[in-house]
Amino acid sequence: MAKPQVRSREKSSQRVWLFALALIAITAAAYLPAWNGKLIWDDNRHITQPALRSWQGLADIWTRVGATQQYYPLVHSFFWIEQKLWGDSVLGYHLVNILLHSLGAVVLLQILRRLKIPGAWLAAALFALHPVQVESVAWISELKNTLSGLFFFCSILTYLNFDERRNRLAYISSLALFILGLLCKTAIAPLPAIIAVVLWWKRGRVRLREDLLPLLPFFVIGVGAGLFTAWLERIFIGAQGTAFQLSILQRCLIAGRDFWFYFFKLAWPTKLTFIYPRWHISGTVWWQYLFPAALILLLAIAWKLRSKFRGPLAAALLFLGLLSPALGFINVFPFIYSFVADHFQYLACIPPLTLFAAGLTMGLDSIAPAKGVLRPAISIAPILILGLLTWRQSHVYRDIETLWRTTIARNPDCWMAYSNLGSFLSERGGLDEAIRDFRKALELRPDQSKDHNNLGKALLQTDRMSEAMEEFQTALRISPDDPDTENNIGAAYLQEGDVDEAISHLRKAVQKRPLHADAYINLGNAFLQKRDIDAAIEAYSTTLGLQFDHAESHYSIANAFRQKGQLDDAILHYRLALELRPDYADAHNNLANVFRQQGRVEEAVREYEAALKSNPGSVPAQNNLAWLLATAADAKLRNGKKAVELAEQAVLATDGHNPVFLHTLAAAYAENGDFTKAIAAANDALEIANANGITSLAESLRSKIALYQSGLPYHEEPPAR
């Protein structure tokens, strides 16, 4: 009799592995549109910052609160490792999220099979492929969900082993896995309550000594972690202020409405969006009481049925328990935008989906004909439908512009979507549309000083100084102590050339926020314009001690040292900037300029090439490299054809109005043997130089024209040895 049992277990194990592999493959296929999805919203703040990419940075992730976006050190350690493995390539980050989500579904299957729940296979597949999960899986930042979820499942599975065998190692392992999960996201803090409900469902009662006492350490650790996170959300993330001043009554109304919102999104997953409308909650609106009343009625009915069917009550309690961190009783920063979000129910969706899968399976089992073709067909149908919906929803996460435009289409009153889309367009150079989006955001929320600031900066970039200043002053009236506004006003005056007024406002900015790195950079730029190079270096150096991308600081310090003539110090800081940002085109270009000053032409050529690799459209790098390829003393470095190509691009980018670039183009033509074009370009440059009184350039051009007329290119003298 033993052999048939062994063979049965082997076949069952094989089926589990085959199902697991198939589920991972199907899930990966459903998320294919998001595989190469670009960074969205706060992804760039989760992927390890340059200042944290060292071993010391890894230590800071664990020991210094505030070093990362949120204090989830295990998640940020994963990001640290991922950054070492594939740098900023998004594919690796997305595949890890998809794999963790799929593995979580596989462990969930094992839990449901251990509990002998009908339809365990279907429930696991629904969890893996439901479109409400797309936000958690396709959004790189939500590694918090997929990683903590895997630890959550593993902890429960291990605890069930302990519950059956009372094995101390299983107990310690379950507790350790729970702690690891909390270090990823404290949303799993309700785990001990979840286990207690599962044990009640399993036995019909909960025993104090055998069931509750072993869970006591879990409860203590979970509550402690939850309180710590709530404190961090208030102090470091900003989950406080008027948007969070809600009465107990309002929070109860939110909780009731949240419950039904999430339930109906599971039952009918349409119009899923990144940011849902933020409800206006009022105790004076009678129909808002219907949501908590309906929830109480549901629980009462489930309680009444518990002697015959414990499943509905258990599912409702588990759903509520897993949603509890996001039901409105604890302030979390996203509440400033909306009281609900798809990623809030990443784990909470399991009980309703499991109840549905079990009910469907038992219903089909009760119909004799369904045991043939009908049962698998009906079971597969929801999986295919949800998989297709997930595939479609994944397209939304392919880039930040698609995400915000889709959010606006589905939630037209989402002020923060307009705000963030405006910021994206502004960075990309689409200033006119950005200005329209900022104005729309302010139409919806006029009290947002940040949007007044962003609108002001966009107006400033379009040379609308008076309008920009009006927006900055409005921002200052809304938030009188906002250092960002003072910094923006200072930057505006600096752009206008009023250096003293700029310094006055920038000093106010750093007084209000001593750690304001951008203000110190602008202050350094202002001192540089006043030729106070030592003061500029001091301002730039201040930023090196701040939590800030130090590359900009090193670059600015290097520029100051170069202006002061301390070229070796300049080289040092340009190189430090490039260590932090290897694709920093301006740093490559200016480092090349210093090498050129020192006669290190070959090194200069390499840096100009690196600048163009990082930014092919960098006009200064195009011109500078073209000059060296045309005029270098070392014949091995010269390349007339390439010089012409680069110089023509630089001249075209400036509409032929820059005499220096025309000067370079003439030298490139001459090196390429086309002296007719060389003379024509040089004459054009001479005309512009004379018209603008650039006498030194005009004299140089006259000597070059004479050289080209004699059929000779211009080559620089070899550096002195």
3-class SS string, 41-56:
CCHHHHCCCHHHCCHH
pLDDT of 174 higher than 90: yes
Q: How much is the average pLDDT of 489-515?
A: 89
Amino acid at 47: I
Q: How much is the average pLDDT of 491-511?
A: 90
The 10 Å Cβ neighbour count of residue 576 is 18
Q: How much is the average pLDDT of 562-568?
A: 90
Minimal CA–CA distance to 682: which of 716, 708, 720? 708
Provide the whole-model pTM: 0.81
- What is the per-residue pLDDT for 238? 74
- What is the per-residue pLDDT for 352? 98
pLDDT of 400 higher than 70: yes
End-to-end CA separation in angstroms for the chain: 94
pLDDT of 2 higher than 70: no
622 φ, ψ (degrees, to nearest 5) = -60, -50
Structure letter (DSSP) for residue 326: G
* Same domain for 604 and 584: yes
CB 478 within 8 A of CB 447: yes
Weakest mean pLDDT among 113-122, 170-179, 206-215, 546-555: 546-555
- Token couple for 93: 């980050």
Minimal CA–CA distance to 251: which of 292, 297, 284? 292
pLDDT in tens, 49-62: 877 889 999 999 99
* Residue that has been written with the tokens 């509890």 in this structure: 324
Which residues lie closer than 8 Å to 657 by C-beta, 6 or more apart? Answer: 688
Which residues lie closer than 8 Å to 28 by C-beta, 6 or more apart? Answer: 95, 98, 99, 102
- What is the per-residue pLDDT for 268? 96
- What is the per-residue pLDDT for 88? 84
Of 563, 595, 616, which residue sits at a domain end? 616
CB 646 within 8 A of CB 626: yes
CA gap 408, 405 in Å, rounded: 5
Weakest mean pLDDT among 66-75, 359-368, 488-497: 359-368
- What is the per-residue pLDDT for 3? 61
* Same domain for 686 and 571: no
CB 39 within 8 A of CB 400: yes
CB 713 within 8 A of CB 670: yes
- Helices first, then strands: H and E counts in the chain: 34, 0
Domain that holds residue 10: 2-47+88-396
- Token couple for 283: 């105790």
CA gap 178, 192 in Å, rounded: 9
Of 350, 381, 396, which residue sits at a domain end? 396
The upper half-sphere exposure of residue 120, i.e. CA atoms within 13 Å in the direction of its Cβ, equals 16
pLDDT of 416 higher than 90: yes
**Which range scores top for mean pLDDT: 344-348, 429-433, 556-560, 649-653?**
344-348
* Same domain for 244 and 199: yes
Residue 334 lies in a domain: yes
Of 616, 632, 648, which residue sits at a domain end? 616
Confidence label for 9 from pLDDT (cuts 50, 70 and 90): low
CA gap 472, 464 in Å, rounded: 12
pLDDT of 371 higher than 90: no
- What is the per-residue pLDDT for 63? 94
* Same domain for 702 and 562: no
Residue 502 lies in a domain: no
Average pLDDT, the chain: 92
Q: What are the angstrom distances between the C-alpha of 459 and each of 85, 356, 366, 427, 438?
A: 41, 54, 69, 13, 11
Q: What share of the chain is helix, strand, coil (3-state, %, to 5)?
A: 75, 0, 25
Confidence label for 435 from pLDDT (cuts 50, 70 and 90): very high
Residue 544 lies in a domain: no
Residue 445 lies in a domain: no
CB 570 within 8 A of CB 534: no
- What is the per-residue pLDDT for 387? 96
* Residue that has been written with the tokens 């309700």 in this structure: 190
* Same domain for 361 and 293: yes
CB 599 within 8 A of CB 719: yes
Residue 57 lies in a domain: no
Which residues lie closer than 8 Å to 414 by C-beta, 6 or more apart? Answer: 275, 277, 337, 407, 408, 444
Name the percent of the chain lying above pLDDT 90: 74
CA 708 from centroid of its chain's CA atoms: 55
Confidence label for 10 from pLDDT (cuts 50, 70 and 90): low
* Residue that has been written with the tokens 């190189």 in this structure: 575
CB 122 within 8 A of CB 360: yes
CA gap 438, 471 in Å, rounded: 11
Q: How much is the average pLDDT of 629-634?
A: 93
* Same domain for 703 and 600: no
- What is the per-residue pLDDT for 603? 94
Confidence label for 7 from pLDDT (cuts 50, 70 and 90): low
Residue 278 lies in a domain: yes
Q: How much is the average pLDDT of 125-149?
A: 97
Q: What are the angstrom distances between the C-alpha of 548 and each of 298, 349, 424, 426?
A: 51, 38, 20, 22
The CA radius of gyration of the chain, in Å to the nearest whole number, is 32
Sequence-ordered alpha helix ranges (H) in 115-190 = 120-129, 134-138, 143-165, 168-182
pLDDT in tens, 673-716: 999 999 999 999 999 999 999 999 999 999 999 999 999 999 98
CA gap 586, 558 in Å, rounded: 11
* Same domain for 604 and 633: no
* Same domain for 568 and 677: no
pLDDT of 720 higher than 70: no
- Token couple for 340: 């609900």
CA gap 436, 434 in Å, rounded: 5
Name the percent of the chain lying above pLDDT 70: 97
* Same domain for 701 and 556: no
CA gap 253, 280 in Å, rounded: 11
CATH code of the domain in which 558 resides: 1.25.40.10
Burial status of residue 368 (CB atoms within 10 A of its CB: 0-12, 13-18, 19 or more): exposed
* Same domain for 155 and 244: yes
Q: How much is the average pLDDT of 657-669?
A: 94
- What is the per-residue pLDDT for 236? 75
Minimal CA–CA distance to 329: which of 136, 190, 445, 236? 190
- What is the per-residue pLDDT for 487? 92
* Same domain for 715 and 574: no
CB 283 within 8 A of CB 250: yes
- Token couple for 668: 């490139």
Q: How much is the average pLDDT of 367-388?
A: 81
Weakest mean pLDDT among 341-345, 351-355, 451-455, 576-580: 576-580
CATH code of the domain in which 661 resides: 1.25.40
* Same domain for 278 and 314: yes
Confidence label for 4 from pLDDT (cuts 50, 70 and 90): low
Residue 79 lies in a domain: no
Number of domains within the chain: 3
Residue 404 lies in a domain: no
- What is the per-residue pLDDT for 580? 83
pLDDT in tens, 506-548: 999 988 888 788 888 888 889 888 888 888 888 888 877 665 4
Q: How much is the average pLDDT of 262-290?
A: 96
pLDDT of 316 higher than 70: yes
